[in-house]
Amino acid sequence: MLIVKSSLADADVMLLALRRDGVDPVWERVETTDALQAALAAGVWDVVLSDYTIAELGSPAALEIVRASDPDLPFIIVLGTVGEDVAVALMRATVNDCILKHNLSQLAATVDREVRQAGSRRANRAIARTAAHLAAVVESSDNAILSKTLDGVLTSWNLAAERLYGWTAAEAIGRNISFLVPRDKTDEWTEIMLQLQAGQQVKHFETVRLHRDGRRLDVMLTVSPVRDTGGGLVGVSKSSHDIQERKRAEGALRRSEERYRGLIESIPALVSVYDATGRPLQHNRRWYEYTGQSSEATAGTLWHEAIHPDDAVGAVVGWDRCKASGEAYSTEYRLRRGDGEYRWFLVQGVAQGDRDGIKEWVRTCTDIDDRKRAEDTLRQTADLLTAVAEGTPDAVFVKDRDGQYLLCNSAASQFLRRPSADILGHTDTEFFDPASAQWVISRDHRVMTSGVTETEEGELTVAGVTRTIQGTKAPYRDAVGNVIGVIGISRDITGQKRAAESLSASETQYRRLFEAAQDGILIVDVASRRVVDANPFLTNLLGYRLEELVGKELWEIGLFRDIEANKAAFQTLLEQGYIRYKDHPLLTKDRAQIEVEFVSNVYDVGNSRVIQCNIRDITERARAEAAVRQSEERFRAFMDHSPAAAFIKDEDGRFLYVNPTWRQQFDPEPVAWQGKSDHDFWPRETADLFRASDGECLARNAVVQTEETARTAAGTELTWLVMKFPIDDGGEMRIGGMAWDITARKRTEDDLHLRDRAIRAATQGLLITDPNKPDNPIVYVSPGFERITGYASDEVLGCNCRFLQGADTDPVAVARLREAVRDAKSCSVELLNYRKDGTPFWNELSISPVRDEVGCLTHFVGVQADATGRRSLEEQFRQVQKMEAVGQLAAGVAHDFNNLLTIINGYSEILLQGLPSDDPFRDMVTEIFKAGERSAGLTRQLLAFSRRQVLTPRILVLNGVVADTNKMLRRLIGADVRLTTTLDRGLGAVRADSGQIEQVLMNLAVNARDAMPRGGVLTIETRNVELDDAYARAHPDARPGPYVLLGVSDTGCGMSPEVRARIFEPFFTTKGAGKGTGLGLATVYGIVQQSGGHIMVDSEVGVGSTFKVYLPRVNLVAENTKAHPGAGTPPRGTETVLIAEDDDGVRALIVRVLAHNGYTVLEAADGDEAVRLSSAHVGSIHLLVTDVVMPGAGGRSVAEQVAERHPESRVLFVSGYTDDAVIRHGVLREGVNFLQKPYSPVALMFKVREVLDGAR
């Protein structure tokens, strides 16, 4: 009892009254605030008695302090008198009761009542907390928990039940449970109810229940009776959970164990499996090979017996740590070989067990002795590592009222992950996440506001890391007691919190696990050898009820077929604390034999030692193991005889297994592949590629298909199609692979790719048709076909080739193709086809049949080429041949005509000069002269169009030629045609014969005039142009470069395409009979071609025509052309002239003309005679006039020989032959004087005078 009174006498009075009524309490008196707080903190009190008024502490303040310490602690006030206002105030202050000093006889009863009521309040609050906790446990349980009355009506239904069965609590509660039970399980449920009503225990069992959607669920069901306070059965509680995943997991576990066993034998390391005591359960083949021991010899050994004595202690400590933590461990130590030598191994171990402890552990030992020796020099540096800092003390800190840190120790600095300098002066918002900072600040504020010390616990997040802290905060006061901040001490209890939670969960879960375990569990007291407990699985397995086992001595039950062997195992268990064995079957109650595996441990429970024996039914597993062994043998046989090369590698690329096909393909010699990597067999570049694809397979955790190339041991390079796939081998990742030799297929593919590229690159078109389908459709076309026809592949596939034909396609050629297809023969034709845009083209097509291996027709292949260009060239070539033939004819005719015309025109001119104007024969002679002139013009036209006339090219500008012929052209075209010119002032120069250009202009102007019989416009233009490569490709007779354009356009009737194609042919004319020779445009064409130019014509019927003459532009200055001497008195002379002419008539004319004009003439009938005359002549020979082509010595030879005898002699060559003949005789070159036949006497006299005067 705690008494709050300032008067000791008053306290004694109250104590006396209490003792008088039989209450003798343990008490303490306080009269100050500090004393009251100290007393409350120091002990546990049942009741507080207080005065209403105390000198330093009034009852209200005392009540507040007591309630803050313990809300349920009774607080009774003893006072002298009480007014109405005081009574009301006390009731509002939650005082438990008030006793007047003159009525102390009620004090003991009041104290007793209030103490009992306080105890009741505390108990009720604890019960409420427990109930809430149990309800939360039920609601949070993963098991579906429900309860029902004896007649099957559901009374409770947790969230797990909703998840498992699909019905909500509102839908299920109140319904009969039969909607969950399938019809075929009704009897099962009836039997369960009978057992419960008979007081029997219902064991765990697997059964089937119905989901809301009608699905049947496999569940593990636990049924418990619900009894009233008198022990009567009033209901049933059921707990169930879905076991379908567990069943699937068990199947997966069995498959995993099968792979595990195969993996152990294929691993290139020493692999051992030990029980918890360290005794071997299994070694792989490599262990026996290394140790040289047999399985019988190692049966009784411990795991550490082969370890080097210097390494044994560390190995055992490492294993103990592994057992304690349950984590895998890795270490290195030396193992003794069969010959006694020790080698270093990398040892990795992993423990396997459950919450009840370690059952077994696996150890792999990889030989690292060679590497260890190489690493010895590196170990010294590893010894220089330092230990981790000492444990961290509690964090201590001080903050001001604004929350800024005034002080913090190193532990606080470490918790906040900042150096102290970065913490002081800053607030929690800078260190914690927003939620954590707000939590800390609110509690700091509460302590500073209330002035009361508080204990807190919560989770804080710093830099993304959440920790649980427990701390105490108190107000930080100044010297006068004002709160100026907060002082705190915090401890990181994350680890303890988790451990406590784990321990609580472990204790709660243990019984559940024991009841729900799918292995039999038997608990035996060591001292008495009697059964303490057994789980439902074991009782079901053996067929016993629990009460038939509990309390019975282990050996008297009759469980063991071989009691002595099991007693020996029991003794071993007591000695070692752990044992595992499976060679001793158990007997059920009905004496059936069960193959089981025992895993037993000895541990302390309180003051007793007990044995927990886990008993697993392995009858089915034994059968499965036999089946697995058969499966492994079949797998080994399959892999050994597989035509594909197969391998398995570990994660580091070391081979674990290769099949015989692999060995045969890569190295038929016996080579140890296991434990080696790709780098041991192939060059680094090749091995790196292999390892890259290995890494991709593991990184993606998926099948990877690659093509890999490698050389065999014999040096043969092979290409392989390799499929690599990841293998999860009990947590160890492996790479499996299958490889097929595709070298031949790759070569075939490369050949096909090469052919495909060749087909695509070919300019010819390729198409394939299928004659075995209706209408022989196209099944393939090449890019060349698409380029030639303009059709895309998808537009023609499935069509017959006839869509390329048109109205002008030769039906004979088409018939030949059809016959070839019908007779399955080859055929080549040229026929007119049409592109997609409608333009025609000549198709040079060859088709051939394609047959299969037995000679059956499968397809037709066609190769086509666009022959349009070739045919055009052939047409041009034929035109050239025709022009050449006419030219040769003209050349022959010209020579004879020129000689005859020279005589006719010469004598006609002489006669006209000698006849009076009134002579009756003058008109006749005039007509003869005119006819001769016309004949001479016709001869010149023949030579011009055949490009065989002799030209005198000069550097000139066409603008000048156009201007000189302007008047003459106007007279030619007449008044009805208007002449306009558009001349480029910056026009470039050309090299051409101005007289021939004039003839071109006149011929084109006359042609234009005749096209405009009713008048029109004739336009002549000049300008500089550039012809590019594209233009030159489109016009074969043109070359790219700079040109001068001479254009002549009219607005006449125009020409059709057929006429336009023939206008340059000799003798072709559209004019009526007697109105044209057909040589005008042929002459123009010949002059342009002979001048190195190019001519084009554009024309449209009813619109007009434009002729464009392109002459090569030269970068030279135009020459000043001297005017021809006009008509007049021919000049005379007295010089001696030697005539060499083989035509008698021409020679006589020359001699007559020259002699008549004062010259001394020597005449010779051929070249040889001319040479003789020159040799015989003693005087000077001033001029040699010689024909170019003569019998015997030609004109050039005569001139050279005469020059030797008479170096003063000048030479004038004359000829009736064409330009080609003159050039062949070496005459026509720069500086040579030449006169073309036919010529007039006047022209001869002017030319002779010109040559003679030029000598001076």
The 3-state secondary structure of 872-929, one letter per residue: HHHHHHHHHHHHHHHHHHHHHHHHHHHHHHHHHHHHHHHHHHHCCCCCCCHHHHHHHH
Whole-number Å distance between alpha carbons of 912 and 924: 10
Q: Which of 173, 171, 206, 201 lies closest to 188, judged by CA?
A: 206
3-state helix, strand, coil in the chain (%, to 5): 45, 25, 30
Residues 348 and 445 both lie in one domain? no
Last residue of a domain, one of 821, 843, 864: 864
Residues 106 and 199 both lie in one domain? no
Whole-number Å distance between alpha carbons of 271 and 745: 43
Let me know if residue 377 belongs to a domain: no
Q: Which amino acid is at 810?
A: D
Q: Using only C-alpha atoms, what is the Rg of the chain? A: 64
Give me the helix-helix angle, 1144-1156 and 868-914, nearest 10°. Answer: 50
Residues 281 and 234 both lie in one domain? no
Let me know if residue 580 belongs to a domain: yes
DSSP class of 57? -
Whole-number Å distance between alpha carbons of 947 and 1085: 9
Residues 969 and 1078 both lie in one domain? yes
Q: 1224: domain CATH number?
A: 3.40.50.2300
Let me know if residue 845 belongs to a domain: yes
Residues 125 and 149 both lie in one domain? no
Let me know if residue 856 belongs to a domain: yes
Q: Is 1238 exposed, middle or buried (0-12, 13-18, 19+ CB in 10 A)?
A: buried
> Which residues, in sequence order, are bridge partners of residue 1016?
977
The two tokens of residue 75 are: 């607080």
3-state secondary structure of 143: coil
Residues 553 and 649 both lie in one domain? no
Last residue of a domain, one of 697, 729, 745: 745
Last residue of a domain, one of 864, 879, 898: 864
Residues 576 and 715 both lie in one domain? no
Residues 664 and 803 both lie in one domain? no
Long-range contacts of 995-998 (CB under 8 A, 24+ apart): 995/952, 996/944, 996/949, 996/951, 996/1087, 996/1090, 996/1091, 997/956, 997/958, 997/961, 997/1046, 997/1087, 997/1091, 998/961, 998/964, 998/965
Residues 117 and 17 both lie in one domain? yes
Let me know if residue 260 belongs to a domain: no
Sheet holding 1160-1164, edge to edge: 1160-1164, 1136-1140, 1183-1187, 1210-1215, 1234-1236
**Cβ–Cβ under 8 Å, residues 1070 and 1041:** no
Question: Which pLDDT value is given to residue 1124?
Answer: 46
Q: Please identify which residue in the block is written with the tokens 């370890």.
A: 307
The two tokens of residue 1129 are: 């008195």
Q: Which domain holds residue 775?
A: 771-864
Residues 118 and 159 both lie in one domain? no
The span from the first CA to the last CA of the chain, in angstroms, equals: 167
Positions of the chain with pLDDT under 50: 381-392, 947, 1121-1127, 1220-1226, 1256
Q: 829: domain CATH number?
A: 3.30.450.20
Let me know if residue 1020 belongs to a domain: yes
What is the number of structural domains in the chain? Answer: 9
Residues 968 and 1104 both lie in one domain? yes
**Cβ–Cβ under 8 Å, residues 42 and 15:** no
The runs of H, that is alpha helices, within 670-803 are 684-700, 743-761, 783-789, 793-796
Counting DSSP H helices and E strands in the chain, the numbers are 39, 49
Let me know if residue 161 belongs to a domain: yes
Residues 343 and 438 both lie in one domain? no
Q: Please identify which residue in the block is written with the tokens 């069992």.
A: 205
Let me know if residue 750 belongs to a domain: no
